[in-house]
Structure 1
Amino acid sequence: MKYNKLIFGSLFSLILGTLIYILFRSSSLKVFSWLDLLGINILECNIRKSALAVSYNIPDWVLLSLPDGLWLFSYVCLMLYIWKNTITVQNLFWIGIIPAIAIASEVAQCFGILQGTFDPMDLLLYILGGVLPLLIFKNSINYKLKFQHHEQKF
């Protein structure tokens, strides 16, 4: 049952982030030309036109930052699902690498190390997207963070 919640959390946040992105974001983004190559012209879809008509009522952070936070949430949930809700020294890297890259890239933008515009809301939602799955599912996560000493016999 606990694994079903992880996969649901992963899929729900992935879909919600994607819907926000394709319904409300600028038509100049690359994703729309990629979809067009696949024969999917979302720009002319009535649901997108209706969404854009009400987008002025939605805060910018929801439209611009929330999708990335939701995608990080989705990734962490998926990693926890793949690793059967167990965090070990061996899999901690894989669970944390994408959130760490996202957070580090935003911090690097702040210091001019990477090109881009630092946005504190992006940083906050990256952190939340990486940490919230660990907090939400904390009672079912099995932490095994001690190094295991394995004797090898030759």
Structure 2
Amino acid sequence: MKKNRNTVIGIFSIVFGGMIYVLWRKQSLLMFSWFYSIGLKPFVALLREFAHSYSLVMPEWVYFSLPNALWAFGGILLFYSIWKDACSERMFWVLLFSMTAVGSEIGQLVGIVPGTYDTTDISLMLIFIPLAITIGNKNHAIKEVSDAKGL
């Protein structure tokens, strides 16, 4: 079975965004209580201890804004994995997903979505969303060519 580039890159992006949260975000987030309830507290503590020194030299946007952009990026690539051929369903879900990602940040600005509005969040999403669409289309074209050649 051939690996789908969009799937691999999409999953990696989502996992990488999640790891940023695990390593550098506040432990008051709900996910930490889930980790601790299944016995992962020592493992998470070890990871966070190892990563702490990196947070001292990393810009804040990496751990506050990059995860959302990575999740949007990865999610879109996964839609390209589900609908490998260009179709209205893929376009619908990519647009809905993109509007929800950006719209939730705008909702934070006007106070209808909980959280803290950040222009860096929107800026990164407005870079990563078109990038994911471009990569998704390119990877699809590469796969079509390799399939046609029997690779």
TM-score (norm. length: structure 2): 0.80
- For residues 86-107 of structure 1, the C-alpha deviation after alignment (integer angstroms, 9 at most, x for no partner) is 3322332222222211101111
- Secondary structure of residue in 2 paired with 1:57: coil
Max Rg structure? 1
Contact 1:13 1:71 in 2 (8 A): yes
CA-based RMSD of the aligned residues comes to 2.3
How far does residue 36 in structure 1 lie from its aligned partner after superposition?
1.1
More helix by share: 2
Work out the CA distance in 2 between the residues paired with 1:80 and 1:36.
34
Counting aligned pairs with the same residue, the percent is 33
Give the aligned partner of residue 22 of structure 2.
22
1:1-154 aligned within 5 A: 4-41=4-41, 45-84=45-84, 86-141=85-140
| Residue equivalent to 2:147 | none
Cα distance in structure 1, aligned partners of 2:4 and 2:38: 31
Contact 2:76-2:132 at 8 Å conserved across structures: yes
Segments of 5+ residues of structure 1 without an aligned counterpart are 143-154
Change (3 A) 1:138 1:41: same
TM-score of the aligned structures, taking structure 1 as reference length: 0.79
* Cα shift at 1:44: 5.4
Deviation string for 1:73-97 (max 9, x for gaps)?
A: 111111101101x332233222222
